[in-house]
């Protein structure tokens, strides 16, 4: 489906890593697939590039490597580059924005301003856009992190909200654009099979994991002042939790979906500071081996303070105080330099109350649903079946929904879906301000207690699944992380 109308897409931070790896490749694929209106233009904004030709050379060198060969054609690439214009602006000089205004003034359709910059530049850019009248008939996209805590997040939202109305602001969380997350909504609300089971009576526990093999790479300076709780839990993991636990919305319009997510976030049981050592695990990776290669400790990474106590791993138990989920633990986990790169949601159903078929049917996790978000996007339902042969011996089997095998058309990458939604004015997959505030309120007691107590992160070797304390936390509930079962 093609975008609804012509558009002007303005990319601040046009030479940055996010623009090269994600945003421009996603726009290219939308262009190649015929999803962008023919008249739509892309304006890149940067300071250290001299002009359009030099910028296109930069794109050829840095973006092409992030476009798969299966998606690349010379004709599509050439016509995609034809869409791109360039404006050299010093973001610290509001007067430079006159150049941008003059470049886009006569172009038809909606304007999208994508701020792929550090959060310290969000407010100055917004003020500069308003000073030249570019905050009208426009949408603005804000990348995470939006603030350092609730207070700083509110300060940014207040300042941006003075210039752009809430319905103009798109706070992006790319996990909400992933195909399996969309299919989770379809699975829950499009099929009668799961709804009766999707509650405390039949669900024993839920795990949500986002694990990375990579370390901090070139982001040491940023990451050392952020940490895993702010970088991943406050946004990605809590957004996934709200999707899993939300009530059926009356429709899929933006506010109906986001109202239900907000109810979940507001129903999260507040964490008592006295319980934080029991329900939250903080870790930091030390030197280790990943896929046969030695990797340094976090404290030895570029840009990281040698004495740093920033966490690179977090596991936390959440509870939702409502009738559907009361008493069901949600275990959230994220970390860098772990044993594998995965993102998944594991729904563990309760075992049968009595089995005439042996103990296999009574073990935890005999029935479960695993929604894999990365690297391969699948939904897998596990159940028990009889092994062939004599006797009633049970074995775990699974039913697969592997999207790349079932659907002939290619999957849409998360950023591609979200960018098309911005251009078309669809807000359902973007985070509303009240959602963001509720998430910050829930994580702040953990941050404050860690700071006040001087809690140091527990060490774990790179290439493992994190500190042993994360496993001990689940053992208190007679369960374990999915990979530990084998």
- Would residue 66 show up in a list of annotated catalytic residues for this protein? no
CATH 3.30.360.10, applies to 176-412+433-485: yes
Peptide bond preceding 300 in cis form (omega within 30 of 0): no
CA quadruple 297, 302, 304, 310: dihedral, nearest 10: -50
Confidence of residue 347 (pLDDT cuts 50, 70, 90): very high
Categorize the per-residue pLDDT at 410 as very low, low, confident or very high, splitting at 50, 70 and 90: low
Query: What pLDDT score was predicted for residue 360?
Result: 65
pLDDT reading at 406 higher than 80: no
Q: What is the C-alpha separation between 104 and 425, in angstroms, rounded?
A: 19
Mean pLDDT of 208-231: 92
Percent of the chain residues topping a pLDDT of 90: 70
The span from the CA of 257 to the CA of 185, in Å, is: 10
**Phi-psi group of 259: left, alpha or beta (phi > 0 → left; psi -120 to 50 → alpha; rest → beta):** alpha
Percent of the chain with pLDDT over 70: 94
Where is the binding site for substrate, in residues? 174, 178, 212, 231, 336
Mean pLDDT computed over every residue of the chain: 91
Per-residue confidence (pLDDT) for residue 4, from 0 to 100: 61
Give, as one character, the DSSP assignment of residue 221.
Answer: H
Q: Which of 40-44, 181-185, 231-235 has the lowest mean pLDDT?
A: 181-185
Pick the CATH number of 7-143 from 3.40.50.720, 3.40.50.2300, 3.30.470.20, 3.60.21.10: 3.40.50.720
d(CA 428, CA 425): 9
Distance CA 421, CA 428 (A): 9
- What does the pLDDT look like over 269-284, one tens digit per residue? 999 999 999 999 999 9
pLDDT surpasses 90 at 118 = no
More confident residue, 477 or 362: 477
Q: How many CB atoms lie within 10 A of CB 444?
A: 16
Q: Which residue has the higher pLDDT, 99 or 454?
A: 99
For the record, the structure tokens of 391 come out as 């006797």
Token digits of residue 205? 């526990």
Residue 243 structure tokens: 């999707």
Q: Domain residues of the chain, as ranges?
A: 7-143, 176-412+433-485
Strands of the sheet with 394-402, listed across from one edge: 394-402, 378-386, 368-374, 342-349, 203-211, 330-335, 313-318, 280-286, 458-461
Tell me, what's the pLDDT at 203?
96
pLDDT of residue 306: 93
Q: Is the confidence at residue 152, as pLDDT, over 60?
A: yes
pLDDT band at residue 461 under the 50/70/90 scheme:
very high
Q: Which residues are annotated as a binding site?
A: 47, 90-91, 144, 174, 178, 212, 231, 336
Both structure tokens of 378: 């699948």
What whole-number distance in Å separates Cα of residue 403 and Cα of residue 179? 9
Which strand (E) or helix (H) includes residue 257? helix 254-267
The confidence band for 235, taking pLDDT boundaries of 50, 70 and 90, is: very high
* Marked catalytic residue, from 127, 236, 398, 477: 236
Separation CA 193–CA 91 (nearest Å): 53
pTM: 0.92
């Amino acid at each position: 489906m093609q975008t609804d109308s012509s558009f002007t897409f303005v990319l601040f931070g046009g030479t940055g890593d996010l623009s090269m790896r994600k945003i421009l490749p996603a726009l290219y694929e939308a262009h190649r697939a015929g999803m962008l209106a023919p008249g739509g233009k892309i304006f890149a904004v940067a300071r250290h590039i001299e002009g359009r030709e030099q910028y296109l050379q930069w794109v050829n060198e840095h973006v092409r490597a992030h476009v798969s060969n299966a998606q690349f054609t010379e004709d599509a690439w050439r016509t995609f580059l034809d869409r791109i214009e360039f404006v050299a602006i010093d973001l610290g000089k509001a007067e430079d924005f006159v150049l941008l205004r003059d470049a886009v003034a006569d172009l038809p359709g909606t304007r999208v301003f994508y701020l792929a910059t550090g959060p310290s530049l969000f407010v100055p850019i917004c003020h500069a856009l308003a000073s030249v009248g570019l905050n009208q008939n426009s949408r603005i996209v804000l990348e995470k992190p939006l603030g350092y805590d609730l207070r700083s997040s509110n300060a940014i939202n207040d300042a941006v909200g003075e210039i752009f109305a809430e319905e103009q602001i798109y706070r992006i969380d790319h996990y909400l654009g992933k195909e399996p997350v969309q299919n989770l909504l379809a699975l829950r609300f499009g099929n009668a099979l799961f709804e009766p089971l999707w509650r405390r009576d039949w669900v024993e526990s839920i795990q949500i994991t986002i694990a990375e093999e990579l370390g901090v790479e070139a982001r040491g300076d940023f990451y050392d002042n952020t940490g895993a709780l702010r970088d991943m839990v406050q946004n990605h993991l809590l957004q996934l939790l709200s999707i899993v636990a939300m009530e059926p919305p009356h429709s899929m319009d933006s506010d109906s979906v986001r109202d239900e997510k907000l109810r979940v976030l507001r129903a999260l049981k507040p964490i008592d500071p006295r319980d934080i050592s029991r329900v939250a695990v903080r870790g930091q990776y030390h030197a280790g081996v990943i896929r046969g290669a030695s990797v340094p400790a976090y404290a030895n990474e570029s840009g990281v303070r040698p004495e740093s106590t920033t966490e690179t791993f977090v596991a936390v138990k959440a509870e939702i105080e409502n009738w559907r989920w009361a008493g069901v633990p949600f275990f959230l986990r994220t970390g860098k330099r772990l044993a594998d790169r995965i993102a998944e949601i594991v729904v563990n159903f309760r075992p049968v109350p009595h089995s005439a078929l042996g103990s296999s049917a009574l073990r935890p996790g005999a029935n479960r649903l695993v929604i894999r978000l990365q690297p391969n996007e699948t939904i897998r339902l596990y159940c028990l079946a009889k092994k062939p042969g004599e006797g009633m011996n049970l074995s775990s089997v699974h039913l697969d929904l592997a999207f790349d095998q079932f659907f002939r058309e290619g999957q849409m990458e998360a950023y591609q879906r979200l960018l098309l939604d911005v251009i078309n004015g669809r807000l359902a997959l973007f985070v509303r301000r009240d959602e963001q505030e509720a998430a910050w309120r829930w994580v702040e007691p953990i941050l404050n207690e860690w700071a006040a107590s001087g809690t140091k992160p527990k060490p774990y070797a790179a290439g493992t699944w994190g500190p042993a304390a994360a496993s001990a936390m689940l053992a208190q509930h007679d369960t374990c992380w999915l990979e530990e079962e084998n």
